[in-house]
Amino acid sequence: MSIAPLAGPLPRASRDALGGAVLLVALILFIAAPLVGVLLWAFAEQWRPPAALPTQWGFKYWYMLLARADVQQSFPLSLTLASIVTALSAVICLPAAYALARLDFPGRRLILLSFITAHAFPRFPLYVSIAVIFLSLGLIGTAPAVVAVQLVFSMLYMIWIPTAAFRGVDRRLEEAARDVGASHLTVLVRITLPQVAPAIGAALLLTFMNAFYEVEGALLVGIPDIRTLPIVMLSLITGQMIVQYGAVLSAMLWVPSLILLIFARRMFDSRTFAAGVTT
Amino acid sequence: MATLSLNSLTRRFGATVAVSAMSLDVADGEFVCLLGPSGCGKSTALRCIAGFEEPDGGDILIDGASTVAIPPNRRATGMVFQSHALWSHMTVFGNIAFGLKLRKLADAAIRRKVGEVLDLLSLSGLESRYPRQLSGGQQQRVALARSLVLEPKILLLDEPFSSLDAHLRVRLREELRAIQRRLNQTTVFVTHDQEEALTLADRIAIMNAGTLEQIDTPGAVYERPETLFVAGFIGAMNVLPARLIGHELQAGPFRLPLSGERRRALADLQAIDLAARPEEIELLSRDNAQSEGRVEQVIDLGPMRHVVVACDDGMRLKVQAPRQVPVAPGDEVGLGLQRALVYRDGAQPVEIVRRHPSVLPFRRAAGAELRPQ
C-alpha cells in the first residue's frame, strides 16, 4: 500500500469514492440519528442537555406508560383496527384489482386514477367533511367510523399494487395450467395468486402500517371514545411535555413495523419474489 | 392411435383473417411442422387446436371427433410454449406432477410417472430445483416433460427452441425427434425456422397470410415448391422475372428454348417467373457458356460456397460452387442453368431440366422402410 502525499489532488476515482462515502454517512445520520435519539430518550431516566448521553438509564418510563389505562387500551385497539382495515381492504380491493387488470372496459383508467384523488388533495378538509357527514349519521366516536376513514385512504395501495401485479402475470403460465387440465378457479388459486403473492403481501403491509400510524382521520372521527395508540401519543406529547413518554410510545409503535419489516424481508428474499421479478 | 384433422379452420381477429379455411390431416404418429413468416397465422392455428382460440369457422377433429366445443383443460392436447411458461413457484417435480395431481392419481403413481418422464428427458436429479435454477435447455425440457407426462393424443409445440442458442437448439431438436419417434407421438410443431422444419418434420405445412401454401415432405417442398412464395421461403432461391420471346424463355442472362407444348402453356401469360436454386446453376468457364457475369462476392458456407454473380443487366444470381473451384471476386464467369421451375399465376409450376446430374442408384436393404425423408 502506498501512501499518497497529503497535499496534491486525489485521483479521480478515489475522490468519487470519498464523495460517495461522505454522502452515505450523511444519509445514515439523517435517517438513523432521529431514531437513535428516540431510542436513547426511551431508556433515559435522566438526561440533562449538556450531557452527551443520558445520565441515568432504565425502564422507569416504560413501566409508567404501560401502567396507564389509556395505553393499555389503545395498543390492542390500534392493532385490531389496523387488522380490520387491512382485511376489509383486501376483501374489497383484491377482486377489483383482478378485474381492473384483466378486463378491458371503458373507464378502466379513470377508475384507477380515482383512487389517487383521495391522496391528491389536502387531507384535512376531506377529514372534516367526512366528520360532518358522520356526525349527522351519529357515527362519530365509533370504531366503524375510524375503520371507514382509514379504509378510504388506504385503498390506493390495495388497488394499484395488485392490479399491476395481476397485469404482470404471464398469461401463458395460466394457459399452460389450463392445458394440463386446470379449471379457471384452479388456475387462479394455484398459479395466478402464488405469482402475485409478494405484491399482495407488500400491499397488505403498506395498508396495515398506514392504518396503524394514521392519526388525523382517527382523531377527527374517533374521539372521544376511540383512542388509537398514535392519538394517545399525540395527547401525551402535547399535554404533558414529558419527552420520555413520546419516545417510549414511538418505540412501542415501531414494534409492529419491525415485525412486519422482518416478515417483508423474508418475503422479498424468497424464491417467489425473485422469480416474480426475473420472469 | 391419434389423428388430427383441420377442416377449413378459420379464425378472424376483427377485420383481419389470421387463419383462412385451413385444412390439414395429420396421421397417427406423424410429425408435422407449420412453417411460415411471423404473422402468417401458424401460432393462431396451433392455439385453435389447443383450445386457447375459438375458431370462427371450420372444425377440429381429434381421432375423428370434433373438439371445438371442448375447453382446453379437457382437450387431449399438450402444449409446449415458446417461453416455456414454467410455474416459477413450483419445483421441477411440482411442475410436471401438477397435471397428474389434477387427475387425482395416487402419489405412488405420480412419482413413478414423473420419474419415467424425467428419465426420458435426462432430467433425473433435478426434481427439487426451481425453474430459475435451470439452464434454458433444461427449462424447455421440463416444459416438454410437463406435457408428455400426461400422454396427450396430440403434442403441440409453439416455437419451443427459438430462444435457445444454435447448438442447444440442434441438440434439443434431435432429442425431440428421437422421443417423438419412440412414443409414436402425433405432433404439430410451429416454427419460422426452415432448417428446423426441414430436419424435424415428416411433412411441412407452409403458411402465408393465413392460408396453406403447400403441404409436403421436406424433400418435396424443397425440390418442387408449388408456389412462388414457397420457392422464395424455403432455402436459397434465385427468382428471375421471365419473358417468352419467340421460341425462347428469357430470364436474366438465360435463354431457354422451349418445346411446343411448354410454349403453348406459357403463351398467353404476362407474369412469368423463373426460379432456380444456387446448386441448379453451374459455374462454367466463359468460353463455353451462353450466359455470363462477373463474380461480386464469395460467401463461404463451410461445406460449399455461394458465389454472387452480377449479370449485365444488373441482376444478381447466387450460384453454389464446391470449395475446390478457384473463384474470386472480379472473375469473369460463365453460367449454366441445369434445372429451373417456371411459375405462372394460379397454376402448377413447369419444370425445365437441361441436364440431369448423374445419380447412381444405391442398393437398398431388403425390406427397408420406404418412409419419406
Q: pLDDT at residue B28 above 90?
A: yes
- What is the structure's pLDDT at B135? 92
- For A120, the grid coordinates are 391528491
pLDDT digits (tens, 9 = 90+) for B120-136: 999 999 999 999 999 99
Q: What angle do CA A221, A255, A146 make, to 5 degrees?
A: 10
Contact assignment for B150 to A180 by CB distance below 8 Å: yes
Minimal CA separation from A99 to chain B, in Å: 20
3-state secondary structure of A11: coil
Q: Which residues of A169-193 are buried (b: 16+ CB within 10 A; e: fewer)?
A: bbebbbbbbbbbbbeeeebeebbbb
- What is the structure's pLDDT at B328? 87
Distances (CA, A) of A177 to A119, A197, B271: 39, 18, 51
- What is the structure's pLDDT at B275? 92
Tell me the pLDDT band of B53, cut-offs 50, 70 and 90. very high
B98 and chain A: CB distance < 8 Å anywhere? yes
Which of A45-49, A64-68, B324-328 comes out lowest in average pLDDT?
A45-49
Q: Other CB atoms closer than 10 Å to residue B36's CB: what's the count?
A: 29
The DSSP secondary-structure symbol of B367 reads T
Minimal CA separation from A265 to chain B, in Å: 18
- What is the structure's pLDDT at B247? 79
Nearest Cα to Cα of residue B218 among B189, B175, B186: B189
Q: pLDDT at residue B372 above 80?
A: no
Q: Other CB atoms closer than 10 Å to residue B150's CB: what's the count?
A: 20
CA distance A77 to B49: 58
B50 and chain A: CB distance < 8 Å anywhere? yes
**pLDDT above 90 coverage of chain A, percent:** 19
B104 and chain A: CB distance < 8 Å anywhere? no
Query: Who among A181, A191, A194 is closest to B73 (CB)?
Result: A181
Tell me the pLDDT band of A262, cut-offs 50, 70 and 90. confident
ipTM: 0.83
- For B271, the grid coordinates are 407474369
- What is the structure's pLDDT at A62? 82
Q: What is the mean pLDDT of residues B240-261?
A: 82
B79 and chain A: CB distance < 8 Å anywhere? yes
Q: What is the mean pLDDT of residues B50-56?
A: 95
Minimal CA separation from A91 to chain B, in Å: 24
3-state secondary structure of B210: coil
Chain B residue at shortest CA distance from A176? B85
- What is the structure's pLDDT at A35? 82
Contact assignment for B81 to A275 by CB distance below 8 Å: no
**Which value, to the nearest 10 degrees, does the dihedral of the CA atoms of residues A98, A103, A104, A110 take?**
-40
Q: pLDDT at residue B355 above 80?
A: no
Contact assignment for A181 to B88 by CB distance below 8 Å: no
Q: pLDDT at residue A3 above 80?
A: no
Q: What angle do CA B129, B135, B137 make, to 5 degrees?
A: 115
The CA-based diameter of chain B, rounded to the nearest angstrom, is: 80
Q: What is the mean pLDDT of residues A85-90?
A: 94
Q: Which amino acid is at A252?
A: M
Tell me the pLDDT band of A1, cut-offs 50, 70 and 90. very low
From chain B residues 137-166, the ones with a CB under 8 A of any chain A CB are 143, 146-147, 150
CA distance B67 to B73: 12
Best A179, A187, A193 residue to mutate vs chain B (most B CBs within 10 Å): A179
Q: What is the mean pLDDT of residues B176-205?
A: 94
Best A180, A184, A267, A273 residue to mutate vs chain B (most B CBs within 10 Å): A180
Chain B residue at shortest CA distance from A173? B85
3-state secondary structure of B249: strand
Minimal CA separation from B133 to chain A, in Å: 10
User: What is the pTM assigned to this prediction?
Assistant: 0.79
- What is the structure's pLDDT at A277? 41
Minimal CA separation from B203 to chain A, in Å: 25
Is-contact B117 B149, C-beta < 8 A? Answer: yes
Contact assignment for A181 to B132 by CB distance below 8 Å: no
Q: pLDDT at residue A269 above 60?
A: no
- What is the structure's pLDDT at A114? 82
Alpha helices of A121-192 — where are they, by DSSP H?
123-137, 143-168, 171-179, 184-187
Contact assignment for B72 to A272 by CB distance below 8 Å: no
Backbone angles phi, psi at A151, to 5 degrees: -65, -45
Chain B residue at shortest CA distance from A170? B85
Contact assignment for B103 to A183 by CB distance below 8 Å: no
Q: What is the mean pLDDT of residues B171-196?
A: 94
Residues of chain B contacting residue A191, judged by C-beta atoms under 8 Å apart: 87
Q: Other CB atoms closer than 10 Å to residue B221's CB: what's the count?
A: 28
Contacts of A1-10 spanning 24+ positions with Cβ under 8 A: none
Average pLDDT, chain B: 89
pLDDT digits (tens, 9 = 90+) for B281-317: 988 888 777 788 899 999 998 888 999 999 887 889 9
Residues of chain A contacting residue B142, judged by C-beta atoms under 8 Å apart: none
Q: pLDDT at residue B358 above 50?
A: no
Residues of chain B contacting residue A179, judged by C-beta atoms under 8 Å apart: 50, 72-73, 77-79, 147
Tell me the pLDDT band of B366, cut-offs 50, 70 and 90. low
CA distance A133 to A130: 5
CA distance B311 to B291: 9
Q: What is the mean pLDDT of residues B225-238?
A: 91
CA distance B333 to B284: 6
Q: Which residues of A129-152 are buried (b: 16+ CB within 10 A; e: fewer)?
A: ebbeebeeeebbebbebbbbbbbb
**pLDDT above 70 coverage of chain B, percent:** 93
Q: What is the mean pLDDT of residues B93-99?
A: 96
The DSSP secondary-structure symbol of B225 reads -
Tell me the pLDDT band of A74, cut-offs 50, 70 and 90. confident
Distances (CA, A) of A114 to A58, A108, A130, B41, B45: 50, 10, 17, 40, 41
- What is the structure's pLDDT at B9? 95
Is-contact B356 B273, C-beta < 8 A? Answer: no
- What is the structure's pLDDT at A131? 86
pLDDT digits (tens, 9 = 90+) for A189-226: 999 999 998 889 888 888 988 888 888 888 888 877 78
